Structures are given as C-alpha cells and as structure tokens.
Structure 1
Amino acid sequence: MKIAVIDDEKPQADILYSICNAYFGGHKQNVQIDCFPDGIAFFNSFKENTYKIAFVDIFMEKMNGIAVAEKLREKDRDIIIVFVTTSPDFMMQAFSVHAFHYITKPYKAEQMIYKVLNDASSYVSDNSKYIEVMCDRRNTLISLKEIVSVESDAHYINIGVVSGLRYRTRMTIAEFLKLADNDTRFIPVNRGIVLNADYIKDIEDSVCVTGNGERFPIKIREKTRIEQSIREYMFKKIRENQRR
C-alpha cells in the first residue's frame, strides 16, 4: 500500500510518517509512505490509482488542503482523504470532498490515528475488489462494492451500480459469479437476477426492495432460502468487523 502525506510542516509530517510506519509494521503489512511539502510537489509526481490514502494538511501556503483535495478527488474518486489540521473550522468543506476523516493537530494519541488507519485499511481491502468486463468495446473496471444488481438479458447481463449507471456486457450470471469469486454478498433471488445483500432493504411478499427503491421479483418458494442467505452474510460480516 502507498500513502501520501502532504504537509508543509516537516516536524508534523515526520510524526505522522513514524506513526503510520509503526502501525503497518505492527500489522506486518508492506507500506510505502511518501511525504510532500505541498500540493504542487504532490501533483508533479502524481499518477492515478497510485496512492490508497492521502493525509492532507489544510493550512498550507502554496495550495491549501481543500484545493488539493478537490483536485485530487477529480483525478481519483476512490482515494481515501484524511485531513490533518490545527482547527476544525473547515470540517464542512472537508465533507464536501468526501473526506474519510478529520484529525486535529497536535497529534494527541497514536491510538486515534491507528483507528483511522484501521478503518481505512478495511475500506481499501474491500474497495480494491474489482471485476473487469467488456462494455462498449472497451475494458471497464467495476468495484464489487458498488454493484447493486445483476440481471440477465439473453446472452448479456446488465450490471446496476449505486450511481445509477448500468453496464451491459456479454456474460452469463454464472460467469459473473465466478468472476466475482463467488462473493457471498451476491445472492440469486430469481432466475437471472442477483442482488448485493448490502443493498437489500426489505422483502415484501414476492418482491425484494433495494435501498435506492428498485423492486425485483423473487421466487416465493425460494423466499426462506433468500432470507437465510442474507442473514448468514450479515452475521459473517459482523464477525469479520469484530475481529478487526
């Protein structure tokens, strides 16, 4: 994993570097931490999808942290942005660029940063699971985490994601499940329909309702099996989170 620390206060950057290094060393994970004195230096060496986490100081002279985050979010929508600052005054602007966390200086406890790194590492691990499909004659990467539904249509499947977009690719449901490594979050609810359990909101009679309001027909005789599959997945997810 690669982490960027963008901070014009070298002593503070060095402290954060040491804490991150100790955290990943303790977890026996390989990590590369690159420190940059400002956003300009960072973008001069930036390559898309290189860094998984970026710690960004808000108060910097050459380019303030909010501007850095806005530009970074345009280039990489998946990178985890953690703001570090001496003041909470810019917290609302931090959320506008989908910041993962907001840490105030001086760093009072390593444990707080460890928790942020723990949460971020879990997010990266899940978010790094992708499938590659052919859509409109080009290869497209789709995050498993963002897939809401998969529906078969003749020799094709339509993959619906949280943004509302749909990807159409020549593939069977069985091939999709194999490509997704039979991830247990994907539950067949009817012939030619697979739903992501993370987005299933309710089952009403013969209809499965997702969080965005879409309704999918299910087989009545399979209702008990579907509900059991959802419960088993949720219990597994809870146990995994408790072990972290």
Structure 2
Amino acid sequence: MWNLLICDDENQMIVSLKDMIRRFTNETNIQFNISECHSAGELLNDFNDSIDLILLDISMGTLSGMDAAKIIRERNRDVVIIFVTSMTQYALEGYSVHAFGFLKKPIRYADIRLQLLDATMHLNSHKKEFLTIEVDNAPYRLDIAEILFLEVQDHDILIHTLSESLLVHESMNEMESRLKEHYFFRCHRSYLVNLRMVATVNGADVVLKNKTTVPLSKYKKKEFLEAFTFYLGVEN
C-alpha cells in the first residue's frame, strides 16, 4: 500500500480525485492510503517521509504548490510529485523540483490512470527499506541501506550512517531483532554491523567500505565469516 497525499484548495477536486483513485484501485488492486490537505502551508506542516506520492495543485493562494514542492524537495528527494493544474506554463519549472508528471484540469480518468500506473511502477523499482526510530521525541525514518553500524553508548544505541550519527533509546537486543532480516550481524556484544557495508576482516576488526573499523569478538569470528559469506552468495 502506498501513502498518497492530495493537496488542492478545491474540495470538489479532492472528491473527484479520490473517486478516480478508488476506481483505479478496483481495476488494478493497487492500494493507497489517501490523505488530504487544502493549502501549501498545510502540506508543509503535514508532510513527512512516510508519504510516497503527492497530487499537488499549483495555484493555491499566497504560497503556491510549486513553492511548496521546492521546500519539500529540500527535505525529501524520493517522494513522487504529480502536479494537478490548468496552468501548463509551469511545466518547465516543474523540472526544477523533479516533478514526475502533470495532470491538466479538467482531469480525465485515462490520464490519471496512466500517471498512477507509471508512478507505482517507479516506486516499486526504487523501493527502499526503512527503520523507524524516535529522535528528539519524534518519529524518524532511516534508510536501512545507509546504516554502517550500531554501537552501545551507555544505556542507549548510537546509529552510524553514511551521513550522520543518531542516538536512540533502545537496547541492542531490540535493534538486533529488528535488523537481523536485513543482513545485520552482532559482531561484538556492543556492536551490530551492516553486512552490506563490510569490505573485509582484518584480525580482530571488521573493516567497512568507508575504512571505519568495528571490533570483532573472537567468539563471534567464525559465525560472522559464515554470515558474511552467505550474504555475498545471496548478493551474487
């Protein structure tokens, strides 16, 4: 199921879009969790990384849909944005926010059907796996593929990624359970490493692709090498 957000200041347009999306679901069995907002400001307040697809009106008062799209693109590179507009002159500007497509008002079902088919195929081909954690008392979605390793820090867990380090209030046992199926291995009582990020093993250290080293317990070494070999076989 995909999370789809409709943003339009015309209630009748939102109703019409919902009807066409439900028809699309009945025909294709592609499911959507649909939410709505009625202004660009409301969109910016409501937007979060769980949203996969936005149907976005351009002309909506002081802050336009195009303005909102530019701000959203600074936060999220992956969300699919399809503009819903009668103002075709914005098509070129849409490239600056990597708009996936345009639906011209009045909208025909055949047009939205084609856009939704293309958008969901795109989402499926670029599907990421996320770990939802709590950071500063707010939910945060972390791309699992970007995690390097996790380490115990006092009674918390420090998650190291390619771009940042995040402190979460969970136990290592809990994190190991949540990440085990994603090719993570507990190489030391205080460390959990992403096998996708491993380059090699050097004595008592796991060497990651970014040259970072992580301790490898001598009691875990044989099991770690078996797990890493299995992972390489799956990938190849």
| TM bucket normalised to smaller | 0.5 to 0.7
2:182 corresponds to: 184
Q: Over the residues paired in the alignment, what is the CA RMSD in angstroms?
A: 4.5
Structure-to-structure mapping, 1:1-244, within 5 angstroms: 3-7=4-8, 17-25=18-26, 26-27=28-29, 29=31, 31-34=33-36, 36=38, 38-39=39-40, 42-43=42-43, 47=46, 49=48, 52=51, 53-57=53-57, 59-60=58-59, 62=61, 63-72=63-72, 80-84=79-83, 86=88, 88-95=91-98, 102-105=100-103, 110-120=113-123, 126-127=129-130, 129-132=131-134, 139=137, 141-146=139-144, 147-153=147-153, 155-167=155-167, 169=169, 171=171, 173-178=172-177, 180=178, 182-198=180-196, 200=197, 202-203=199-200, 205=202, 207-210=206-209, 214-218=212-216, 221-222=222-223, 224-231=225-232, 234=235
Larger radius of gyration: 2
Identity %: 15
SS at match of 1:31: strand
Structure 2 CA distance, aligned partners of 1:24 and 1:33? 15
Go from structure 1 to structure 2 and tell me whether the alpha carbon gap of 1:125 and 1:23 turns closer, same or farther (over 3 Å shift). Answer: farther
Structure 2 CA distance, aligned partners of 1:23 and 1:148? 40
Structure 2 CA distance, aligned partners of 1:145 and 1:13? 31
Structure 1 gaps, min length 5: 96-100, 236-244
Structure 2 gaps, min length 5: 105-109
Q: Deviations over 1:36-68 (max 9, x none)?
A: 4x525x459x546597232224x4262333311
Q: CA deviation at 1:204?
A: 5.7
- C-alpha contact 1:150 1:193 (8 A) present in aligned 2: yes
Go from structure 1 to structure 2 and tell me whether the alpha carbon gap of 1:24 and 1:126 turns closer, same or farther (over 3 Å shift). Answer: farther
Go from structure 1 to structure 2 and tell me whether the alpha carbon gap of 1:142 and 1:64 turns closer, same or farther (over 3 Å shift). Answer: closer
4+ runs deviating over 6 angstroms: 8-15, 121-125
Aligned residues: 216
Go from structure 1 to structure 2 and tell me whether the alpha carbon gap of 1:51 and 1:187 turns closer, same or farther (over 3 Å shift). Answer: closer
